[in-house]
Amino acid sequence: SSLRPNQLHCEKNMIKPLSLIAVILCGLGIALYFYEQGAEQGKENLSGQILLKQLDTKNLNKIQVRSSEGLLELHQSQQGWKESGLDYPLSGEKIQEFLLELTDLRLGDLVTDNSKRHALFQLLSPPESEEQWEDGKHAVAVSLLRGDDSRLLEILLGKSREQGSGQYLRYADSDEVYLLPDTLDIDTDPNDWLNKELTSLDEKMIQKLDFQNSSDLNFTLNYDNQSNSWSMSDSPEAELKEDEINDVLKRLQELSFTKILTGELSDNSTGRTQLTNLEATLADGKIYALQIGENENPEGNHVMSLRMSIQIEADSPDSRKEMERFNQKVGGRLFEIRSWEAKDLLKKKADLLKED
Average pLDDT over residues 123-146: 91
Instruction: Encode pLDDT of 184-204 as tens digits.
Output: 889 999 999 999 999 999 888
Distances 147 to 144, 155, 156, 284 between C-alpha atoms, Å: 10, 19, 21, 41
**Mean pLDDT over all residues of the chain?**
86
pLDDT confidence of residue 346: 96
pLDDT confidence of residue 10: 44
pLDDT confidence of residue 19: 54
Split at pLDDT 50, 70, 90, the class of 45 is low
Instruction: Encode pLDDT of 260-302 as tens digits.
Output: 999 888 888 899 999 999 999 999 999 999 999 999 999 999 9
pLDDT confidence of residue 203: 82
pLDDT confidence of residue 74: 96
Provide the β-strand partners of residue 353. Answer: 240
Buried b (16+ CB within 10 A) or exposed e, 177-197: bbbbeeebebeeebbebbbbe
Of 126-135, 136-145, 205-214, 228-237, minimum mean pLDDT range: 126-135
Split at pLDDT 50, 70, 90, the class of 49 is confident
pLDDT confidence of residue 47: 75
Distances 241 to 209, 217, 255 between C-alpha atoms, Å: 15, 18, 22
- Give me the percent of the chain exceeding a pLDDT of 90: 66
Better-scored residue on pLDDT, 26 or 80 = 80
Instruction: Identify whether the C-beta of residue 52 lies closer than 8 Å to the C-beta of residue 153.
Output: yes
Average pLDDT over residues 235-243: 93
Distance CA 190, CA 187 (A): 8
pLDDT confidence of residue 290: 97
Instruction: Identify whether the C-beta of residue 348 lies closer than 8 Å to the C-beta of residue 216.
Output: yes
